[in-house]
Structure 1
Amino acid sequence: MTDKTLGWTLRICGVVGVALVLWAIQLILPDFYSTMWRLTVQGDLDGLTDYIASFGYAAIVVSIFMIAFVNAIGIPSIPFLTVNGIIFGLGPGIIISWVGEVIGIEISFRLTRTLLRNQAKKVICKSDMLEKLDSYSCIRTILLGRAIPYSPNVVVTAFSALSHISYKDHFIANAIGKMPAVVVEVWLGHDLLRIQEHWVRLLVLIVAVAAVYGFIWWRRRQSTIR
């Protein structure tokens, strides 16, 4: 079996495996997807919190699965990150959210690169602009892109897939970069939902985040001017 055949065999098996998992969830919990969709679209964070928490210890798996799933298909995962701090507490909620984000983004990155690899190479080679952009597709650039809270993951994923960054470097940038973003998103969501109890801490967090990211933006601007 050639490497190409093996690669496509593994991809097909992966797709079939995912389909079987999704089908099994539908079989065991017929209202799972419809309930998740309804609560997410309605923005019912209290309902989403209660529904995920109703799974008990399995709520950890449910949360990671949903965050990974929506990231893999390019849908924002903010509602799930927002409620995780309430369900699991700040520390565990951050870790659980980070795991789901990293897994989902890696799946999305690999799917995008697999489907668009040949086209991306041709486009990058023909475009001076894309060649210039691709020269910045290093760990540091992707890491900074992932580290911005509430930034659409799909945009950074698309850029990464069209670049020459390796799978290993992307994983490193993804894993490190998503940590500060997830900390802010889970913490901010937790305190917003409990704003009467944590409004002072929320204000301090907002000021601190604005100061840190403002300083990073200023440093990058200064380096560009020079």
Structure 2
Amino acid sequence: MSTYKQFGESDISGGIKNKVGDFSIDWFPTHPFLTALVSIFLNVLIAITGILPSAFITVGTVGILGFRLGLVILIIGEAIGAMVSFILYRKGVHKLSTYPDIKKFDNKLLRRLKSTGGAEAFFIVILLRVLPFVPSGLVTLTAAISKMNFLHFSIASTIGKIPALYIEAFTVFQVLNLKTEWKLGFIISVLLIIILYLLWKSLIGKK
């Protein structure tokens, strides 16, 4: 048996290759090493552009690599993506126009981060990463135009991302192992929640 076959067919940290139950993951490479590279690349792309949803990356990564290894790869991808974005913002490659509503997004922690540095900025970034209602790119942008240095931002950003990534990866892993009817029910429920949220946001915006 070849090394590739042994590696590809083994249970990698609880992984299930390109199928979990009857859920097929056809749009991700099945080789673990390629899966890791694609996952990291897509996470960096999302961090820079913000045009792709990250959920499908989590599904592909965890579905093939399993929960533990998949989580590690997701953390690496998120960390590199944040660091690349930070550098681009600081060098002026990304402009403030990336977030046209930045002035409308009033947050005390963001204002504080913009004018501080050192240990205080470090812990503010961790807190902002943990908070679900503050856009990730906005935190990176604010840190980039603050007095915070690259190393402190990289460490704080990665630490702050771990709780959310853990919950997301664990949830996806559990859902992928559900029976088909439960998966469909879960997907429909999520779609309904998203639709209701968008409707609520639209109604609030009209007031």
Matches within 5 A, 1:61-80: 61-75=37-51, 76-80=53-57
* Deviation readout 1:75-111 (Å, 9 max, x if unpaired): 3422202332211100000000000110011101110
Matches within 5 A, 1:3-22: none
Which residue among 70, 75, 100 is the counterpart of 1:98? 75
User: How far apart are the structure 2 equivalents of 1:62 and 1:117?
Assistant: 23
Give ranges in structure 2 of 5+ residues lacking alignment: 1-22, 97-107, 183-207
Matches within 5 A, 1:136-147: 138-147=121-130
Which residue among 178, 184, 187 is the counterpart of 2:170? 187
Correspondence 1:134 to 2:146: no
1:150 Cα deviation (Å)? 8.2
Q: Which amino acid aligns with 1:97?
A: L
Asked if the contact 1:82/1:185 (under 8 Å) is kept, the reply is: no
TM (norm. structure 2) is 0.58
Greater Cα offset, 149-158 or 129-138: 129-138
Give ranges in structure 1 of 5+ residues lacking alignment: 1-45, 120-128, 200-226
TM (norm. structure 1) is 0.54
Correspondence 1:172 to 2:149: no
**Cα root mean square deviation, aligned:** 3.1
User: How far apart are the structure 1 equivalents of 2:112 and 2:33?
Assistant: 48
Asked if the contact 2:89/2:95 (under 8 Å) is kept, the reply is: no
**Local SS of the residue matching 2:147:** coil
Asked if the contact 1:110/1:161 (under 8 Å) is kept, the reply is: yes
